[in-house]
Amino acid sequence: MSNYIDCTNSFIEERELENILPIVQVSDKLLKEGIGAGNGFLGWMNYTDHINTEELEKIKDSIEKIKKNSEVLIVIGIGGSYLGSKAVITALTHTFYNELDQQERKTPKVYFAGQNISPTYLKHLFDIIKGKDFSVNVISKSGTTTEPAIAFRFFKDILIKQYGKEEAAKRIYVTTDAQKGALKTMADNEGYTSFVIPDDIGGRYSVCTPVGLLPIGCAGINIDEFLEGIKEGVKEFSGENMDNPCYTYAAIRNILYQKGKDIEILVNYEPNLQYFSEWWKQLYGESEGKDQKGIFPASVNFSTDLHSLGQIIQDGRKNLFETIINIEKMEIDLEVPMDDDNLDGLNYLKGKGMNYVNQQAMKGTLYAHLDGDVPNMMINIPDLTPRSIGKLIYFFEKSCALSGYILGVNPFDQPGVESYKKNMFGLLGKPGYEEIGEKLKNKAASK
């Protein structure tokens, strides 16, 4: 088994892995040959091999332009249009990136909008950018998704009032469909700089495209190294046996699911990975949760959540398992200082690094949860760098696609997401949805 992933074999017999291997291999064949469900959305698998170099240079030029003329970048999007870049930026930048002094940061502050419909959130963001030079990157395939479309209306209006229509247009960067849609039409009409969301890559798989690369680069992260990490993943995770970590992860998840473990908890021990967990939850929840099937994706931030959720994980229902992201080497460490009074009783830790203490907390928790009959897997990444994060993203993407096919669902669509939209449009009175609105209002009245 690869060093990239460890698993607890007390819950999985070797014969179970041998038995499921042919199913995983068939799932991989569906991916590689493009003959499975959702095969029109496999562009993420080889995107880095065929990346449009002209567009990549255009992204880099735009990044430099934004760095020079903007103190703030507002990234507008929802779901896969923001979670990937948010995950990478929070993982790889200073924990308090936006609070750093401009001279120390050397890159724009990055804020996100359009991922909710809260007027409070937007008003507070307006307050933050007041009097500051800023640019906007709006990301939407259609340009009509409610949450980002509302946010873009507001920020476009602020830009025009602050700079005038012509200058405002130079500060708007659009990532959208290549040929059609409201946002594409607007970009063409107004002369906005625009980038393409590939037709064959769905939102939750799109962080390696302009969707993620522009905001990630604006935060000072080396996007070439990030893409190299994805390329490494493509190469390393191409094997066709259980030495391939993607095979192992997808297989074990499904074996545990068949044993009644229908909740997976992604565990991290670094706060900077919190939004990586949010990206992972969308990837797996939206890909697998269909046809009344699917492992529910949850996440915890340890050791923080050991003081709130540790109890139910340890002693609650045995319907869950954990996957730990283990960072083998952290760039920063602090030694626990000596205290002459030792009233807190911590002098036994004097001179020890906090990373060492954190690792022992991780091991202690792992052993406790194993004793509590909670299966665990561990994903080992060497460090927190653009290369390692890129590789980790590809690992989870390919594992997710394999796992979805093993489960018997299409890992690349999301039909259930449309249900709430239709109801919302009906209640808001959107043209074409009046009948749905009337039904819902009558339903509410009857109660």
Please give the positions annotated as active site. 286, 421
Q: Which residues pair with 193 in a beta bridge?
A: 173
Return the closest-CA partner of residue 217 out of 290, 139, 130, 137: 137
Q: What distance in Å separates the CA atoms of residue 22 and residue 242, rounded to the nearest whole number?
A: 11
Q: What distance in Å separates the CA atoms of residue 217 and residue 290, rounded to the nearest whole number?
A: 35
Exposed (0-12), middle (13-18) or buried (19+): which is 129, by Cβ within 10 Å? middle
| CB-CB contact of 109 with 73 (8 Å) | yes
Q: Which residues pair with 113 in a beta bridge?
A: 76
In the numeric block, the tokens 């060093």 are attached to: 3
| CB-CB contact of 102 with 158 (8 Å) | no
Count other C-beta atoms under 10 Å from residue 310's C-beta.
17
Exposed (0-12), middle (13-18) or buried (19+): which is 252, by Cβ within 10 Å? buried
DSSP string, 355-413: HHHHHHHHHHHHHHHHHTT--EEEEEES-SSHHHHHHHHHHHHHHHHHHHHHHTS-TT-
Query: In whole angstroms, what separates CA 299 from the centre of its chain?
Result: 12
Burial 81-102 (b: 16+ CB within 10 A, else e): bbbbbbbbbbbbbeeebeeeee
The values of phi and psi at residue 427, to 5°, are -70, -30
Count other C-beta atoms under 10 Å from residue 49's C-beta.
9
Quick one: residue 441, left, alpha or beta (phi over 0 = left, psi -120 to 50 = alpha)? alpha
Q: Which residues pair with 301 in a beta bridge?
A: 268
